[in-house]
Chain A
Amino acid sequence: MYIGSKSVSVNLVLFKIVCCGFFPLQVLNEKKLQEVDSLWKEFETPEKGKETAFLVFLFYTASTALVEGKLSKNLKKILKKIVAKDAHEQLAVADAKLGGVIKEKLNLSCIHSPMVTELMRGIRSQIEGLITGLPSREMAAMCLGLAHSLSRYKLKFSPDKVDTMIIQAISLLDDLDKELNNYIMRCREWYGWHFPELGKIITDNLMYCKCVRKVGDRSNFASSDVSDILPEELEEDVKAAAEISMGTEVSEEDINNIIHLCDQVIEISEYRTQLYDYLKNRMMAIAPNLTVMVGELVGARLIAHAGSLLNLAKHPASTVQLLGAEKALFRALKTKRDTPKFGLIYHASLVGQSNTKNKGKISRMLAAKTALTIRYDALGENTSAEMGAENRLKVETRLRLLEERGIRRISGTGKALAKTDKYQNKSEVKVYDPSGDSTLPVVSKKRKIQEVDEQDTEVAVKAKKFKAEMKGWLLYLCCCHVIVCIVQLGLLKLNYGHSCSFLL
């Protein structure tokens, strides 16, 4: 029993079965509709159901429009027919929104009430009996098919979102570069036997190959026109060098082989540019925010290094900063030295355009914001690049602030002025030192004593202390002695004459 939305009119019941179409049913007995609660009873058996509703006609239609509550063309057609027949009837709808749309477009009044829901339940439970000519097995299969296709439509499973393409593309790009380099080196060496000067004059690889391919044997240089490949002055040099070259002569076959090789090189170069464009497109489709932040190549390399976009999203920002520098990182950790500050992220344009001093800071900031964009790309629902643009703006602002030597503090509100030391004039006046005037060796006594003293510093200190103590005591004793003498003299004065000699 797979029923679409049901529009029920007081006299007319309209069914929508998902894959099958609309089934307007006529409600025969109106009175029964008044009692909402007992409505279920009417649909207990197929026979009873048939008494209440009667099939009128059916159509085929699509159900995606239904989900969004919009009016599909077929539904409109059917409803127009109904309007033509019974314009004064009321149409009951299961979806209030759909009812609104119907009313607005076709001027058919719709109702949506508990009574309608009950009616729908009843119809739904007896759908098999009411709709003749549709075996349940087929309905089941159709419904399953529709559910799957609707779900897929909802999930929008697109092949654009597969990140394996990126990983393969970037690996192929690297491989191509290596191969290209090998072939070009071989080509230069091989042709260099015949015309060595050309290698020194033309530095650009692709230009060299094109040139060789066009000309072949060096004797043809004078007659051939290579102005579309080489700039003017190079052309002159080449033509001059061709006359006086010291290379060997080569046969037709050898030149043909060299030309084949040049063909290969040119083809691979062209394919490489094509692949790079493809990679750029894929990156924009799969991870637009990441592309905006660090660029296509660096983004693709990060994804390839981590294995997949989802894996990359699971890494913390500090790991994103150091992806690609694992060897240096663990070596530094083992030997307890400073760890590296950047990995693959070093090649991002933002890190490249900063000073050497600030590269570390910028790499950290960039990694932090990049981790956010990666997570947004991997797990988010939208595919816009706004978030990446905002974050890039933030990092660029920070970069500018750093470059201005931190006139304003970066952390906190960013409005406070950075604290600088108060200026103090430390004038250093240099005085002339005359000790360097004489070249005679100077031996001063002071130095000797000082030397001796320095050798017996401890003993000397102790002796000093002892001396000081003794001096103190002696002073104290002298004082006492003096006081005692004074007192006794006093006494003598009182006891006149007798004890004078006694004391002295």
Chain B
Amino acid sequence: PRGGGGARGGGGARGGGGARGGPRGRGRGRGGGARGGARAGFKGGKKVTVEPHRHEGNWDGLGYTGRDWDGLGGDWDGLGGTGGCPLPGVFICRGREDALVTRNLVPGESVYGEKRISVEDGDTSVEYRAWNPFRSKLAAAILGGIDQIHIRPGAKVLYLGAASGTTVSHVSDIVGQDGVVYAVEFSHRSGRDLLNVAKKRTNVVPVIEDARHPHKYRMLIGMVDVIFADVAQPDQTRIVALNAHHFLRCGGHFLISIKANCIDSTAPAEAVFAGEVKKMTAERMKPQEQLTLEPYERDHAVVVGVYRYWVVLGCTGPPPKEK
């Protein structure tokens, strides 16, 4: 079925990637910039442009000044602000419809039947895969305006709750060949699909084990930089904490997707999120930002935080507990 899905995706991209009139002008302007924005040239004059994802936020020192350099002024990309920190590895495709895309690690293959967009970059062509925010919590968080996902090219990611590997494939696209994604999934049926994804992508290490017992797969995983958890279990904070104690480096980050219904279906969502945040702080995990996933999911939130943050600050240990 993967091959058939791929063919569908390719056809869809050709049919749907068409920019009309206006964006072309901007595209030319952007093409002159030193950002690596690429021009598309399809037969029939359908043009689509892909540029790195950017949004309003703190300058994180990656060489981006955030000024209004293309002279158009104002909110030209609709995401608010004229500059901001980019999420490396994540792109936005502008065309008739805008889409969040990642660069395909395995060109020509579609993992779950998603649209693929081919863009000419000089004489080479680069392929991008569309990322559906309704199916992926990470995409929903990015489109919701999360500040930092910490998953970047070259990072080592531990992905708990990998399911059939749809979001895992996008994470694998982002981290590239230098990074590794350790995908942990307990269900056998989803595990089979995950294995198929891992066969095609060599930076995905599949682990068919219960995430509650990290010591059972300790021999397969080294230290990681980021933990992404989408497990939907009532004790998920404990699971993430256990895995963090085993595998997450000091100063590493974690992203937890919380489904309020799953933790406690009677309590209001905000109370559930607050409870989870409290549990996290008790386990030496400091939450830094929380974002709800409206309009893509209901009563869902993503919490981003840092593990053993005192390493970053240069301290020798955690601050003394206040009496």
Contacts and interface: CB of A to CB of B under 8 A. Distances in A.
Interface of A: 1-5, 16-18, 37-38, 40-41, 63, 66-67, 94-95, 117, 120-121, 124-125, 127, 140, 143-144, 146-148, 150-152, 154-155, 157, 379, 381
Given A38-B317, A147-B207, A381-B188, A66 B219 contact: yes
Main secondary structure of the interface of B (DSSP, over half): mixed
A157 B206 contact: no
Given A94-B215, A143-B205, A124 B222 contact: yes
B249 A125 contact: yes
A95 B215 contact: yes
5 contacts: A66-B219, A120-B246, A121-B223, A151-B206, A155-B192
B311 interface: yes
Given A37-B318, A381-B188, A1 B205 contact: no
Contacts of B247: 124
Given A38-B316, A381-B188, A1 B223 contact: yes
B191 A151 contact: yes
A41 B199 CA distance: 38
A18 B219 contact: yes
Contact of A2 (B188, B191, B220): B220
Contacts of A2: 219-222
Contacts of B191: 151, 154-155
B223 A143 contact: no
B205 A144 contact: yes
A3 B246 contact: no
Given A121-B246, A125-B223, A94 B207 contact: no
Contacts of B205: 143-144, 147
A148 B195 CA distance: 7
Contacts of B316: 38, 41
Contacts of B245: 117, 121
Contacts, number: 86
Interface in B208-242: 208-209, 215-223
A127 B188 CA distance: 31
A66 B216 CA distance: 8
B125 interface: no
A347 to B, nearest CB: 32
Contacts of B209: 67, 154
Contacts of A41: 316
The 5 A-B pairs of least Cβ separation, nearest first, read A1-B222, A4-B219, A18-B219, A154-B208, A151-B208
Nearest to A112: B215
A63 B188 CA distance: 20
B219 A37 contact: no
Nearest to A2: B222
B220 to A, nearest CB: 5
A117 B246 contact: yes
A431 to B, nearest CB: 79
Interface residues of B, number: 33
A95 B217 CA distance: 11
Nearest to A143: B220
A125 to B, nearest CB: 5
Contacts of B207: 147, 150-151
Contacts of A18: 219-220
Contacts of A125: 223, 249
A148 B218 contact: no
A114 to B, nearest CB: 9
A155 B188 contact: yes
B202 interface: yes
Contacts of A155: 188, 191-192, 195, 208
Interface in B262-304: none
Given A117-B246, A155-B191, A155-B195, 6 more contacts: A1-B223, A4-B219, A67-B209, A121-B246, A124-B223, A125-B249
B145 to A, nearest CB: 33
Given A5-B215, A144-B202, A151-B191, A40 B318 contact: no
A154 B316 CA distance: 42
Nearest to A381: B188
B198 interface: yes
B180 interface: yes
B311 A150 contact: no
Nearest to B202: A144
B220 A146 contact: yes
B149 to A, nearest CB: 23
Nearest to B195: A151
A157 to B, nearest CB: 7
Contacts of A381: 188
Contacts of A66: 219
Interface string B134-149: 0000000000000000
